[in-house]
Amino acid sequence: MKSLLASLDFDPDFLQEDMDHCLTLGFRETPEFQDRAAWVMKAPKTSSFLDSDSGSKLLVVNGNHDATHFISPLSYVCAKLTDYMSVSDEIICLTYFCSRHTNEWRDPRANAQGLLAQLTGQLLSQLKSKKRKRFDPDLSSLSIEDQSALENDDYAATWRTFETVIKQLPRGTVVVCFIDALTVYENSARKQDTSALMKKLSRLIRKSKTLDLRCMVTYPGRSNYSDMWGIEFDGRKADKLEVPEHV
């Protein structure tokens, strides 16, 4: 496990720094900002997504708001929900804030591969923490070449690692994932890899039977490509939440 985390170059402080940023800025924002965040938190579809009996599900949240703001109300929502879930010993919570990592020139991992690597690192690190019964996944199917590929930010090897662990989680395990402001990774240079990742993740959610895999994906404005992910937004395995222009 340690060697995989090292191969992923996983920084355990990465998420906390993003969380602190979003929580601090969000708390200082305008009443309108706070109202939009509160509306999302109280929305029935959010409650259904978070409900203990909801099962595996994908929820896309369209903020329908000015996407040029320094921080979105949805970033604040994701940070607050992650902070809330972090105290639970029963939930594995994975979170990534795309809007905090936008410039590939300064940060080569500001893309779908970096997103996946961070989620995989968070997943692996939480298996050996908290008070849940210790679980050691069988990683024998990952070759030496896979581990070497992880060090080189290989997308296929990173997905194999993530999927291998997810599929072995004990029956009834709850994994909740928040991917905030995915719009950032849907520009022309990153759209193809981002769509490929979301197709794989949507398929994994759709096929998850023994564990509870939920993923909330947010957009400050609107999603342009979620209908291409190969999952039906019919309210069962996947749904969409539209935030009103005025709340």
Paired strand residues for 176: 93, 214
Tokens 């200082």 — which residue? 28
CA gyration radius for the chain?
17
pLDDT tens, position by position, for the chain (247 residues)?
788 899 999 998 999 999 999 999 999 999 999 999 999 999 999 999 998 777 899 999 999 987 666 789 999 999 999 999 988 888 999 999 999 999 888 888 999 999 999 999 999 999 876 555 667 888 888 888 888 899 899 999 999 999 999 999 999 999 999 999 999 999 888 999 999 999 999 999 999 989 999 999 999 999 989 999 999 998 888 999 999 988 8
- Counting Cα atoms < 13 Å in the Cβ hemisphere of 219 gives 18
Integer Cα distance of 115 and 107 in angstroms: 12
Q: Is 65 helix (H, G, I), strand (E, B) or coil?
A: coil
- Please report, for the chain, how many H helices and E strands are present, in that order: 9, 5
Can you tell me the distance from the alpha carbon of 10 to that of 104, in angstroms, rounded to the nearest whole number?
18
